[in-house]
Amino acid sequence: MKISTILDQIDNGALALPEFQRGYVWNRDQVRGLMDSLYRQYPVGSLLVWLTKTENASARGDAVLQPGTVKLLLDGQQRITSLYGIIRGKAPRFFDGNTDAFTGLHFHLDDEVFEFYAPMKMKDNLLWVNVTDLMQRDIGEFIQRLMAVPELLPNVTTYINRLTAITHIKDIDLHIEEVSGEDKTVGIVVSIFNKVNSGGTKLSKGDLALAKICAEWPEARSEMKKRLAKWRQAGFHFRLEWLLRNITTVVTGSAFFDALEHVDTPTFQRGLTQAEDAVDRLLNIMAARLGLDHDLVLSSRGAFPLLARYITMRDGRLTDARERDKLLYWYVHTFLWGRYSGSTESMLSQDLRHIEDPNGALDRLIGQLRQNRGDLRILPDDFQGYSRAARFYPVLYMLTRAAHARDWGTGAELSHHLLGRLSRLELHHIFPKAVLYKHGYSRGEVNALANFTFLTQETNLLVSDRLPEIYLADFAAQHPGALESTWIPMDPTLWKVERYRDFLAERRRLLAAATHELLDSLLGGTIPDVTEPTLLVPQGAATPGGVSSDDEMNVLIECNAWLAERGLPEGEFLYELVAPDTGNPLATLDLAWPNGLQEGYSQPVALLIDEGEDTEQAANQAGFRYFTDLNAFKQYVAREIVAVPAIPA
């Protein structure tokens, strides 16, 4: 079938993209390669379509499908989307991706090369032809322009032949193979899709499960995205697969996506509503009781599917404050010890079995944690970590909110302030960084978790780089009790720079005691001792990586915003690398794309700002390509993801 006819069929609804297909992921290099092959009449492969009844078709986008039967494109989406964008000058209705990949393609009539528009090279140069303009306008216009320039006349015939060859790309026949028959269910077709796309993007188990749901309820994906957008507005960034996992546990009680295979549409729709309600309730509870009110302090997201299942089994309500607090006690311990940092499905499956009978379920979950951990007591060494990457960083935030810590400069309760990253409350180094570096302390010591506290912006400015032995004494006199409320050791000799390590040790002790007190209050009693405890390595132990300043965090936020503007996936903040066998943390990557910026096409990528060799080595060993500078990362995205050629200086 001619390429022009294929594009016409897209426009009239005879050819569409199935719902289970991922979005457009090609870059400019791939688009350029496709056009060069077609121009030179090289083979570019056949297409595979699924011929099915229109009423049974689940297609992406909002195009109206033709009545009767429709062809759903299984293999060839990237090629056809690229051709549509170049020839039509716009994206097809089913498009989901970055239009920069096919916008502004030009052809050089002498060199016979395709490149994307570069003003300094191409502006006012008749030998550079805009391919989309050529496809949409009369070739005669281009010929007349060339003939009007005397020095080009000797080569006009050659140029005309080359222009004609480009326009004839629309007339090239692409072989189309069809999959049809009553026996071809969406499950079978998705399996076929995975097999023929061995060089492309494989569908995950979540994609496969969602494809089957979308076959019966085409709006499923968009409805789920609406929920994700709502939570994003509230400051929480969740992924589609995470929401699907919540729905799966709510509906089936299973951790595995294949449990959705026999779930009908009404049940799934009800499960989506129940999961949404459960997540809403959980976020509200965690913000109100623990102060965990934004993305960067909401750890252990892998626990949410179980929590959602539990709440749904209780008809969306918790019996009383005691049950709520016990639930939160278990949740806090899951992120303190990294319960879901390793094999999420296996841990979740194990824990879901403990709540099949809601009666006594929380006690069984806590017992399982205690059995695995050996001891749930909080020790001072658990606060040995550094930067916002430490597992105990959310605990410091939680204590500040829940224990009514007070601002040193105003005496006001910090819990009365919004502590989100866009607020005026700031993370403060008690011993200023400049002072510590001047006295020879290491990066890890400077950014030790025990050297952090939260203050209002006003107080933070008052502190500046003053010595603690001076400014802490001033605040202690102005607002008695304020320092103690943030667990500052009150021995003035510990406020001297030469006693910094002793200060950290004492503050870790105070933080551990405060955390133990808070958790004990959640549990509603004393944490029982364990016979012959098997104490593990403190989870707060220093793990390389992480964010240690607002300036560093702003760079990461800027990076994600830059990517979002270009239709590319945002990275995960503070991505924790863990040992696959133990789940123990190995390093924290500032901003990471564990599946690559082009999922299935590019390798895992990370942005590491002001990190040491240990973090870089851990990222490298885990297969990540890492960048230590935002501009270098942007150049990588432009060069290898979007594949924009460098513009000469």
> Are both 316 and 362 inside the same structural domain?
yes
Residue 530 falls within a domain, yes or no?
Answer: no
pLDDT band at 327 (very low <50, low <70, confident <90, very high): very high
* pLDDT exceeds cutoff 80 at 529: no
> pLDDT tens, 594-621?
878 876 566 889 999 888 888 888 898 8
> Are both 209 and 331 inside the same structural domain?
yes
**Distance between CA 537 and CA 13 in Å, rounded?**
60
**Distance between CA 398 and CA 626 in Å, rounded?**
31
> pLDDT tens, 373-384?
877 888 898 888
> Are both 82 and 113 inside the same structural domain?
yes
**Distance between CA 634 and CA 338 in Å, rounded?**
32
Residue 544 falls within a domain, yes or no?
Answer: no
Residue 529 falls within a domain, yes or no?
Answer: no
Contact 419, 400 (CB under 8 A): yes
Edge to edge, the sheet with strand 15-16 lists 15-16, 69-75, 47-53, 176-179
pTM: 0.75
Establish how many alpha carbons lie within 13 A of residue 500's alpha carbon, considering only the half-sphere containing its beta carbon: 23
Which residue reads 């551990």 in tokens?
512
* pLDDT exceeds cutoff 50 at 213: yes
> Are both 181 and 35 inside the same structural domain?
yes
> Are both 330 and 386 inside the same structural domain?
no
**Distance between CA 585 and CA 594 in Å, rounded?**
16
> pLDDT tens, 233-263?
888 889 888 999 999 999 999 999 989 988 9
Give the pLDDT confidence score for residue 528 in this predicted structure.
Answer: 38
**Distance between CA 519 and CA 377 in Å, rounded?**
9
Alpha-carbon distance values, 29 to 34, 115, 116, 599, 632 (Å): 9, 9, 10, 17, 19
Domain residue limits at 366: 205-373
Alpha-carbon distance values, 396 to 458, 486, 511 (Å): 20, 9, 8
**Distance between CA 562 and CA 548 in Å, rounded?**
22
**Distance between CA 80 and CA 69 in Å, rounded?**
20
Establish how many alpha carbons lie within 13 A of residue 73's alpha carbon, considering only the half-sphere containing its beta carbon: 25
| DSSP code per residue over 224-265 | HHHHHHHHHHTT----HHHHHHHHHHHHHS-SSGGGGTT--H
Residue 171 falls within a domain, yes or no?
Answer: yes
The residue that leads in pLDDT, 1 or 532, is 1
Alpha-carbon distance values, 244 to 54, 210, 299, 467, 609 (Å): 26, 8, 18, 51, 32
> Are both 561 and 435 inside the same structural domain?
no
**Distance between CA 344 and CA 255 in Å, rounded?**
9
Task: Say how many domains are in the chain.
Answer: 4
**Distance between CA 298 and CA 622 in Å, rounded?**
24
**Distance between CA 385 and CA 393 in Å, rounded?**
8
